[in-house]
């Protein structure tokens, strides 16, 4: 089977235990995570061959990180070495009316200083069927954005499917360019675009027609976002499919979760999951993307089935601590069939 290549930053994740606040915690739980690495872990977990490309320093923390990826059968052979540090993010998990908090410590990380030409993309893309990136990478630096654009253009030349998760992070765009200046050139090379209604508006100025998303709470109707999909399709004619994730936030522990997929003039809608006791929502969108890529590869003529798999997979991720989604195909399929009882499997 041809591989899926993902490209981006992986960071050391330092999280307070349970629901403790930073100020009260006497220790932090260490793991690793990052949008594109999270997608690669999901796909490897589903039996898809993967190759995660990044830049890491030549030190013991980087070796620790690489060993974690290898543990989940993610390909690491094309990770390049250089720079002086691995990025870090600190996580305080919220509860009920108190939101979660993320503090980044990733300035001058190895991948933020990557340059075009450092990765031999034509070699990396040999035996590849898919390339995935997110909007986080071009937010790190101009050179990271340039390296991402280089990869997209070579993937286009080689006939490889390109997907992106818009992943707008306002706190990352600090190097003098706005998201609206950088992202359109990258996204126009994509065949599959994933995002939410807020990202469509913040990046491209695309809003749902005749609908205000702000007061919806937990009640989100996928049909209201068809206009967003149509506008994005008109803006990026290369894109074969536009996917919108639909999160209704009742409180920090209770969300509704679903999605819609627009392709060939038709809107597909998923069921809406009521996630009443969220364990960890970090990586939820990445688990959706991992499930979606798996679904589109495995069920190429069934967009509804691919969407249903993505939504169910990401619903299960909300029950798993850490960035990575470790739900199995069997568990996802069981949830799709309606078995969300959580009964002990003996």
Residue 306 pLDDT exceeds 70: yes
pLDDT digits (tens, 9 = 90+) for 74-109: 999 999 999 999 999 999 999 999 999 999 999 999
- Look at 324 and 211; give whichever has higher pLDDT: 324
Structural domains in the chain, CATH included, are 3-335 (3.40.1190.20)
Q: For the packed helices 303-317 and 284-298, what is the interaxial angle rounded to 10 degrees?
A: 150
Distances (CA, A) of 28 to 15, 60, 89, 253: 5, 19, 11, 21
Residue 32 pLDDT exceeds 60: yes
- Looking at residue 95, what DSSP letter applies? B
pLDDT digits (tens, 9 = 90+) for 108-133: 999 999 999 999 999 999 999 999 99
d(CA 71, CA 69): 5
Give the count of beta carbons closer than 10 Å to the beta carbon of residue 21: 12
pLDDT of residue 214: 53
Angle at 242 between CA 158 and CA 154, to 5 degrees: 15
Whole-model pTM: value is 0.94
**Length, in residues, of the chain:** 346
pLDDT of residue 215: 44
Q: Kind of pairing, strands 128-134 and 101-105?
A: unpaired
Return the H-helix or E-strand segment holding 134: strand 128-134
Q: Band of the pLDDT at 171, cuts 50, 70, 90?
A: confident
Residue 339 pLDDT exceeds 90: no
d(CA 55, CA 111): 5
Percentage, residues of the chain above pLDDT 70: 94
pLDDT digits (tens, 9 = 90+) for 197-235: 889 999 999 887 765 555 445 566 667 789 999 999 999
């Amino acid at each position: 089977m041809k591989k899926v290549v993902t490209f981006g930053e992986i960071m050391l994740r330092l999280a307070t235990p349970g629901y403790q606040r930073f100020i009260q915690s006497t220790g932090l739980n260490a793991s690793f995570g990052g949008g594109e690495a999270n997608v690669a872990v999901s796909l490897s977990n589903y039996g898809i061959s993967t190759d995660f490309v990044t830049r890491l320093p030549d030190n013991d923390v980087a070796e620790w990180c690489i060993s974690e990826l290898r543990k989940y059968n993610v390909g690491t052979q094309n990770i390049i070495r250089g720079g002086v540090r691995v990025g870090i993010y600190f996580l305080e998990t919220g509860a009920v009316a108190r939101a979660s908090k993320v503090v980044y410590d990733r300035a001058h990380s190895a991948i933020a200083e990557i340059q075009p030409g450092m990765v031999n993309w034509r070699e990396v893309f040999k035996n590849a069927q898919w390339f995935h990136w997110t909007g986080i990478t071009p937010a790190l630096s101009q050179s990271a954005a340039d390296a991402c654009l280089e990869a997209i253009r070579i993937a286009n030349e080689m006939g490889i499917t390109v997907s992106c998760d818009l992943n707008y992070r306002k706190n990352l765009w600090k190097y003098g360019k706005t998201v609206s200046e950088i992202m359109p050139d990258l996204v126009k090379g994509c065949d599959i675009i994933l995002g939410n209604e807020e990202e469509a508006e913040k990046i491209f100025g695309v809003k749902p027609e005749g609908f205000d998303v702000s007061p919806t709470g937990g009640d989100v109707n996928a049909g209201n976002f068809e206009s967003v999909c149509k506008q994005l399709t008109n803006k990026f004619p290369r894109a074969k499919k536009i996917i919108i994730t639909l999160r209704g936030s009742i409180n920090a522990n209770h969300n509704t979760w679903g999605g819609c997929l627009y392709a060939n003039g038709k809107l597909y809608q998923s069921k809406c999951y009521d996630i009443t006791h969220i364990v960890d929502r970090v990586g939820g969108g990445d688990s959706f993307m991992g499930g979606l890529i798996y679904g589109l590869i495995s069920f190429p003529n069934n967009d509804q089935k691919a969407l249903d798999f993505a939504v169910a997979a990401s619903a299960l991720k909300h029950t798993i601590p850490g960035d990575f989604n470790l739900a199995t195909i069997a568990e996802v399929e069981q949830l799709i069939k309606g078995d969300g009882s959580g009964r002990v499997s003996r």
